[in-house]
Amino acid sequence: MHGRSFRSDYRGVRYIAASLSSLSSIPRSVVICVVAVLVIFSLMVVASRFGHTPEIASLDTFEEVESVPGEDGDASGDAEIADFSLLPAGLDAKTRESLEAQSDDPRIVSIVNNVVALGKTGEHYQQKMLELAAKDPEALDYVADFPDRYPASSGAAYSDTVARGSVPDLKQWDQRWGYVEYCGAALGSTGCCPTSLSMVYMALTGKTDKSPADMAALATADGYAVDGEGTIGEFLVNDAGKLGLACEEFSPSAASLVRYLKNGFVVIVNVGPGDFTDSGHFFVARGISSDGTIQINDPYSSVNTVKTWDANAIANQSIMMYAFHVA
């Protein structure tokens, strides 16, 4: 039955085509187009008789294909994801949570995924750098680049200008010198004392020729840098003269600290465990605020630097204080 119907439709098409061809006035191309349309129509009729109606593509068929991340040059699909399972098991929960909260920062991703390389100088410093990255946004570039840049053979010069009497805010983890080795690790981790002395030197002399790396080299050469321990405080007293400075060492007290600052001295404070460190640390006390609190430049923490501190709180955590003036 279906076969006879198909032959009948086909004969009809041939008849129409032959009739059109007999009209010499009609261009052959037109005849061909008409025949093609008739053939398609005939096939649709045949298909419908067999129960299959061909679909005709419409504009709605060509829906926009949703792009798949990572395909067709989509850079976002190639974005690296932080694997927090790589973090040391002993890392404190607060630091871990802070890092996880910043997981959209590519520097955090790099730090976490290269955490093993942060341990070049030992597990202690590895954890300290993770804590630094978690607490201080300004240090993220330093920590993220550490695996590729430590150890550096030398530090760069300090290129900014300093007005005499103004204490520059230097950081031991500044990328210009923070990757230099000092006391068996990176100056960025161990260089609080030489960085503090560099700030004092620049403030009192107005010169910038002694960077933290230069001060670290001086401490090392003169035997005041101890691997795994840091800088011996006597470095500040004994080598001040080499820098054109004079240093007065004094026992910590709030009254003494305030008195020296009011008299124009710049003071380096050596503190033990407490608000500023869990071991030992040096920072600069540079002035007194209108409310009587102490202004500091902490070489390890931009967070601490923007605060002012109670003089008694500083004195109660201090091991020794060192007041400087020009010799």
* Whether 200 contacts 167, CB under 8 Å: yes
- Short-list 231, 164, 171, 150, CA closest to 201: 164
The pLDDT of residue 201: 99
Beta bridge partners of 270: 282, 320
The pLDDT of residue 79: 85
* Burial of 227 from C-beta contacts in 10 A (0-12 / 13-18 / 19+): exposed
Beta bridge partners of 284: 268, 297
Under DSSP, the state recorded for 25 is T
Residue partners of 133: CB distance under 8 A and separation at least 6: 99, 107, 108, 111, 139, 140, 143, 144
CB atoms within 10 A of CB 123: 11
How many alpha carbons lie under 13 Å from residue 53 in its C-beta half-sphere?
2
The pLDDT of residue 49: 57
Per-residue pLDDT for the chain (327 aa), expressed as one digit of tens each? 444 444 445 455 455 555 555 555 566 665 566 556 665 666 665 555 555 545 544 445 445 545 455 455 455 557 899 999 999 999 999 999 999 999 999 999 999 999 999 999 999 999 999 999 999 999 999 999 999 999 999 999 999 999 999 999 999 999 999 999 999 999 999 999 999 999 999 999 999 999 999 999 999 999 999 999 999 999 999 999 999 999 999 999 999 999 999 999 999 999 999 999 999 999 999 999 999 999 999 999 999 999 999 999 999 999 999 999 999
**Which residue type is seen at 253?**
S
The model carries a pTM of 0.78
The pLDDT of residue 27: 64
3-state secondary structure of 13: helix
* Whether 213 contacts 183, CB under 8 Å: no
- Short-list 325, 322, 287, 327, CA closest to 196: 322
The pLDDT of residue 170: 99
The pLDDT of residue 76: 54
* Burial of 269 from C-beta contacts in 10 A (0-12 / 13-18 / 19+): buried
H or E segment to which residue 174 belongs = none
Residue-wise DSSP of 238-251: HSGGGGTEEEEEE-
* Whether 324 contacts 265, CB under 8 Å: yes
* Burial of 184 from C-beta contacts in 10 A (0-12 / 13-18 / 19+): middle
- Short-list 42, 128, 46, CA closest to 88: 128
Residue partners of 96: CB distance under 8 A and separation at least 6: 84, 87
Site of tokens 């080795």: 181
Distance CA 198, CA 208 (A): 8
- Which domains are present in the chain? 84-149 (no CATH), 181-326 (3.90.70.10)
